[in-house]
Structure 1
Amino acid sequence: MPRFASHVLGSLLAAFAIAACARSDATPAAQTASAGVVAARAGGGMAGKLTDSVSTAADRGRIRGAESAPVWLVEVSDFQCPYCKQWHDQSFAIIDREYVQTGKVRLAYLNYPLSSMHKNARAAAEAAMCASVQNRFWALHESLFEAQSRWSEADNPIPTFDSLAVAAGVSAPAWRQCMSSHATAPLIDADRDRTASAGVRSTPTFFVGDRLLAGAYPVDSFRVVIDAALAKARGGK
């Protein structure tokens, strides 16, 4: 599996060679974009030009944290990517507790399913976004990573997604209708297009302030970058 280091992040981050899931045709990113730029393309949300009710609801459900938070953290991920699961298992809860729940950071999840490598990644993204329509994204997000080994190589992952979604608190009929109609597919496609244009070539990738991190960096590295972004947002240097 190819390994990718982040873009210019100082001596601490430069010391790591970080594992990531990459497209088979991936080349090193030629550009970077800040989390704020990615968010601004959606007017403060993530749905881009999509304004239908399903996309709007799904977009709202996959953003967490105070609207007044000075720093965006945008997670670009693939539910079937083992390195995305690694970051989730090791770092997500800590970042959420220390920065999101304290009002310092606003967190959003963007989909980048690597379907050529991960046969069920696209369906998992649709499952999560259909849950997001009902404001149950984060509950299913947790369950999809936790149960990744149960569905990642399944010939038909939908029954597993169904049981996980129901356990996450969705209205089953509405979720199933969303899935069968592929109602959130345009939003997932928009996620891929927007993040690719912003320099994403692998998962997980993160935009933190004006930094791009490609790979499952340890939580201490995120603390360094987030704290620097917070200091800059507050007028520091």
Structure 2
Amino acid sequence: MRSVPKKGKSKQNNSFLFVIIGILALITVLLVLLLFLRNASESSTFKGMPNYTEIKGKYDIEGFKYEKQPHLGSPDAKVKVVEFADYKCPACAKWSAANMERFKQEYVDTGKVELFFMNFAFIDRDSILAASAGEAIYHQNNEAFWEYNQELFANQGDESKIWATPDFLLDFVKNNIEGIDYDLFEKDLKNHTYMLDVKEDYKTGGNYGVNGTPQFFVNDQLIRETSYEALAAAVDAALAAAE
């Protein structure tokens, strides 16, 4: 036989239901608040650091456009070497410390090679900003760019952290790089004057098969092996072919 529910029990059930709904509503509010705070934190962290999608404008991915790139050595050299690198890349910093001076002495200073640098900034947003800082310096003073290049690799931060912030780069350049108009550099960095150049480098590298850093091209040919010995062998072969 079906019994008639007691009113007292019904009230208890309703009260329990209201408590559950209240708890769920509170959890929802807390989750929304946490999401808002996380987004606000990320927005603050990435302030002044656009990603490639946010960098607008036309660019050309055909050819290396040597005339636009930072360079070392004689323009009459028979071999052109292009390095693609990311300032946050530990392997790039290691290669720079171990091999750059030797390569310059053996190939660049002897007139055999003209060396160029192009950005393949892919690790994080501050990779792009650090690259744009380098471009801003290069457009003032090619020699100062190479000083920045070597010093920033030597003072590289943790790859997993956002360290190449606007404040860090402004302070770093002010204290370490000479031969430029600092006020103009600050303006160019904050206005993202050369961000499109960085994007063009990145897209060009991808167009020619770059998929990591550091990577090198010898007379427009990609050298997959990045050891000093492999690069030197490729350069020697190109020099022999040019004879």
TM-score, length-scaled by structure 1: 0.69
Q: Is the CA contact 1:131–1:165 (under 8 Å) kept in the aligned structure 2?
A: no
* Structure whose CA Rg is larger: 2
What are the equivalent positions in structure 2 for 1:124-203 lying under 5 Å apart? Answer: 124-135=130-141, 136-149=144-157, 153-154=161-162, 157-166=165-174, 167-169=176-178, 170-203=180-213
Count of residue pairs the alignment pairs up: 178
Given the superposition, is the C-alpha separation of residues 154 and 227 from structure 1 closer, same or farther in structure 2, using an over 3 Å criterion? Answer: same
Give 1:223's aligned residue.
Answer: 232
Rounded Cα–Cα distance in structure 2 between residues aligned with 1:194 and 1:84: 19
Compare relative contact order (CA 8 Å, sep 6+) and give the higher one, 1 or 2: 1
Rounded Cα–Cα distance in structure 1 between residues aligned with 2:185 and 2:160: 20
* Structure 1 unaligned residues grouped into runs of 5+: 1-36, 48-58
Instruction: Report the CA distance between 1:119 and its aligned residue.
Output: 4.1
Rounded Cα–Cα distance in structure 2 between residues aligned with 1:118 and 1:193: 15
Instruction: Report the CA distance between 1:149 and its aligned residue.
Output: 2.2
1:171-230 Cα offsets, whole Å, 9 max, x none, are: 21010001011111111111112111111111111001253123541x222221111111
Instruction: Report the CA distance between 1:63 and its aligned residue.
Output: 1.2
* Structure 2 unaligned residues grouped into runs of 5+: 1-61
1:23-47 Cα offsets, whole Å, 9 max, x none, are: xxxxxxxxxxxxxx944xx2x42x4
Give 2:84's aligned residue.
Answer: 76
Q: Greater share of helix residues, 1 or 2?
A: 2
Q: Partner letter of residue 233 of structure 1?
A: A
Instruction: Report the CA distance between 1:152 and its aligned residue.
Output: 7.0
Given the superposition, is the C-alpha separation of residues 152 and 108 from structure 1 closer, same or farther in structure 2, using an over 3 Å criterion? Answer: farther
Q: Greater share of strand residues, 1 or 2?
A: 1
Indicate the percent of aligned positions where both proteins have the same amino acid. Answer: 26
C-alpha RMSD of the superposition: 2.0
Give 1:204's aligned residue.
Answer: 214
Give 1:22's aligned residue.
Answer: none
TM-score, length-scaled by structure 2: 0.68
Rounded Cα–Cα distance in structure 1 between residues aligned with 2:168 and 2:87: 14
Rounded Cα–Cα distance in structure 1 between residues aligned with 2:214 and 2:162: 22
1:75-107 Cα offsets, whole Å, 9 max, x none, are: 011010111111111111111111111111011
